[in-house]
A and B are shown apart, each in its own frame.
Chain A
Amino acid sequence: MRRFRLTLRQRDNLYGYIFILPFVIGFTLFVLAPVIQSIILSVTEVTITATGFDTTYIGFENYYFALRVHTDFLRQLVEVMGIMLLNVFWIIVFSFFAALLLNQRFPGRLVFRIIFFLPVVMASGIILQLEIQDYMMAIIGEQVVENYAIIDPQVMAAFLMRMQMPEQLMEYISMAVDGIATIVNSSGIQILIFLAGLQSISPSLYEASQVEGATGWENFWMITLPMVSPLILTNIIYTIIDFFISTSNSLIQLIRDTTSQGAGFGVSAAMSWIYFGAICLVLVIVYLIFNRLVFYHD
């Protein structure tokens, strides 16, 4: 019996879809269906009954409620955007710097790499949540800072004030100092991605530039930075997403509280859609700005 033979194109189509079949099913059932339902929920009022749930169409009232009536939502949305920009900037700078350090050869590199990726394991879920809520640790932490910090934040603030720095810049700096632990703890994966990128730069590029007499400084700007620039974009986008969907984010908490505290499923669905729209807007703007600056090797 002759075997049924496929062309290369047919083979690729067949096996491609067999391999991604789980995702096709899962996406339809557990992402697409809920997304459509959530659109429906956002324009309806939901009432739970004994055998299921009933919905009544009320138009854009939920959106109106979220944006104009709800006292906190809009303010929190703007605030979260601001915090996001600040965090993303510092996380990218820090993780790039850390990856550069961890990429060099020196004794003890393995130990430091293990420590730097530790937050990936520790800073998630319930542990992170308790950390945020733990008032006593915050008090102890402050005492330790007061007694042992090399730079007292208050002294530094006074110093900067005397230098006649604009108040906003000062606020920015002191916020950054306060947030060092947050930045370091949410940079694990970004460091990993940058490190992988640095490893993949061909050593022959550096050898060639050394022959031409380039300094390390020039190498950094002319080789390292352009070669990892696609990853800077990847990391920026990853960090934005990670920040937006993390449960420690105050807006996510607000949406969740809205669900449980009476205002109902419809309003929180509308809030989620507004939030999602804002995320998409940020991602598109960031992509358009940075994609022009990125250097693609091939």
Chain B
Amino acid sequence: MAKATAYISYGKLIVNGKSVLNFRRIGSVIGAVLRYLILIGISYVILYPLIVKLSSSVMTRSDIWDPSVLIIPKYPSLNNYKLAFRFMEYPLAFWNSFKLAFSVSSLQLISCTLVGYGFARYRFFGNGFWFSLVIFSLVIPPELILIPLYLNFRFFDFFGILPDGGFNLLGSAWPFILPAITASGFRNGLYIYIMRQIFRGAPKELEEAAYVDGAGPFRTFFRVVLPGSIHGLVVVFLFSFVWMWNDYSLTSFYWPKGKLLPIMLSSLTRNVLGDQYLHAPVEGSLVNNAGSFLIILPLLLLYAFLQRYFVESIERTGLVG
């Protein structure tokens, strides 16, 4: 009678010459299950507030106090949306916000791309010095320069060129447009940094070929370099658009009376409930959720539309060089 043999080789338990258990395969299955558990758990943490917001925005007062209602309301209604839509003057505020965010982010995209390219490709005198100033502009707290900027825009005299007083640029789009044109707006240092890394990582050969063929630096930049870095451009545009669209800290400072979505949302409960707004946290919260959703929705659509570029840009460009 043959002796029963059992041994482990190459991660397999082999009994009588037949492979019974494959430890590696078991390990990889357990690993895959664990991975999905963790990913689903984290996705839940990210999506949960969105789901709560969505569900409570269609709730009525009675749903809130009903303990059996958690996510799906018993008496769903669009009343909160109607209120939010009316009191935020949604079509007007949407159009104003869109104009502001689109123009500011486009201008930032253009200026930061140009500047980033200059830093990445030209070994000019003082390159390192100016780049350290880019990082400096990113690091200083906005509060530090916000007050002087506020005063400058309030009494805008082209920094001393115009005689006394100057213009009041507050309450218009100019305090956002001017820094955007000159690549020195909020977080523009980050965009310059990203674009510089992308251009540094891109192969030089195409540009050299264009130079050999007689194209100048600008022609080369617009015809050869830009089309090759479309993914990075989309990422920067998305960041910049989202930050401008949601921004409340700068808009409330420079343009507190503007009919922009974040400003309308911040005073929404007060407008809907009148003097009662402090005493009715539930109604206020319901309307606020509907209002927030009205602001996020266009961004979600934009993200859904651009996510392909966003996710792919990681693989294509290697954001980091």
Interface of A with B (CB < 8 Å)?
Answer: 12-20, 22-27, 29-31, 33-35, 37-38, 41, 51-53, 98, 101, 104, 106, 108, 110, 112-122, 124-131, 134-137, 140-141, 144, 180-181, 184-185, 192-193, 195-197, 199-200, 231, 234, 241, 244-245, 247, 252, 255-256, 259, 265, 268-269, 272-273, 275-276, 279-280, 283
Q: Is the CB of B184 within 8 A of A33?
A: no
Q: Is the CB of B70 within 8 A of A23?
A: no
* Known A38-B148, A122-B50; 18 more pairs at CB < 8 Å: A16-B127, A19-B117, A20-B114, A20-B119, A24-B130, A29-B159, A51-B164, A101-B39, A115-B43, A130-B288, A134-B285, A136-B281, A137-B285, A199-B315, A245-B142, A252-B141, A252-B142, A259-B147
Give bound CA distance, A14 to B134, whole Å.
Answer: 19
B196 to chain A, nearest CB (A): 10
Q: Tell which of A108, A119, A141, A269 touches B147, judged by Cβ atoms closer than 8 Å.
A: A269
Q: Is the CB of A31 within 8 A of B181?
A: no
Q: Is the CB of B148 within 8 A of A34?
A: yes
Interface of B with A (CB < 8 Å)?
Answer: 32, 35-36, 38-39, 42-43, 45-50, 52-53, 56, 64, 70, 111, 114-115, 117-119, 122-125, 127, 130, 133-134, 136-145, 147-149, 151-152, 155, 159, 164-165, 178-179, 181-185, 188, 192, 217, 238-239, 242-243, 245-249, 261-262, 265-266, 281-282, 285, 288-289, 292, 295-296, 299-300, 302-303, 307, 310-311, 314-315, 317-320
Q: Tell which of A31, A121, A134, A252 touches B145, judged by Cβ atoms closer than 8 Å.
A: A31
**Chain A residues with CB below 8 A from B288, complex form:** 130, 134
Q: Is the CB of B148 within 8 A of A126?
A: no
User: Chain A's interface: helix, strand, loop or mixed, by majority?
Assistant: helix
Closest residue to A147 on the B side, CB-wise? B70
- Given known contacts A26-B181, A196-B318, A283 and B118 CB-to-CB distance under 8 angstroms: no
**Chain A residues with CB below 8 A from B310, complex form:** 117
Query: Can you offer 28 A-B residue contacts whose CB atoms are under 8 A?
Result: A13-B125, A19-B118, A22-B181, A26-B181, A34-B144, A35-B148, A38-B147, A41-B148, A51-B155, A51-B164, A108-B36, A117-B307, A118-B50, A120-B239, A121-B299, A122-B50, A124-B243, A126-B247, A126-B295, A130-B266, A134-B285, A137-B56, A192-B314, A196-B317, A199-B314, A256-B143, A268-B143, A269-B147
Give bound CA distance, A141 to B45, whole Å.
Answer: 12
Give bound CA distance, A51 to B320, whole Å.
Answer: 49
Q: Top 10 closest A-B pairs, CB basis?
A: A26-B182, A19-B118, A125-B246, A16-B124, A26-B184, A16-B122, A34-B145, A34-B148, A37-B148, A126-B262
Q: Tell which of A26, A31, A130 touches B292, judged by Cβ atoms closer than 8 Å.
A: A130
Closest residue to A148 on the B side, CB-wise? B70
- Given known contacts A53-B151, A255-B143, A272-B143, A125 and B249 CB-to-CB distance under 8 angstroms: yes
B208 to chain A, nearest CB (A): 13
**Chain A residues with CB below 8 A from B53, complex form:** 137
- Given known contacts A38-B145, A256-B143, A27 and B155 CB-to-CB distance under 8 angstroms: no
Q: Is the CB of A23 within 8 A of B184?
A: yes
Q: Is the CB of B243 within 8 A of A114?
A: no
Q: How many A-B residue pairs have CB under 8 A?
A: 255
Q: Is the CB of B318 within 8 A of A200?
A: yes
Q: Is the CB of A52 within 8 A of B246?
A: no
**Chain A residues with CB below 8 A from B125, complex form:** 13
Q: Tell which of B64, B122, B265, B319 touches A15, judged by Cβ atoms closer than 8 Å.
A: B122
Give bound CA distance, A128 to B39, whole Å.
Answer: 23
A242 to chain B, nearest CB (A): 9
**Chain B residues with CB below 8 A from A19, complex form:** 114-115, 117-119, 122
Q: Is the CB of A199 within 8 A of B318?
A: yes
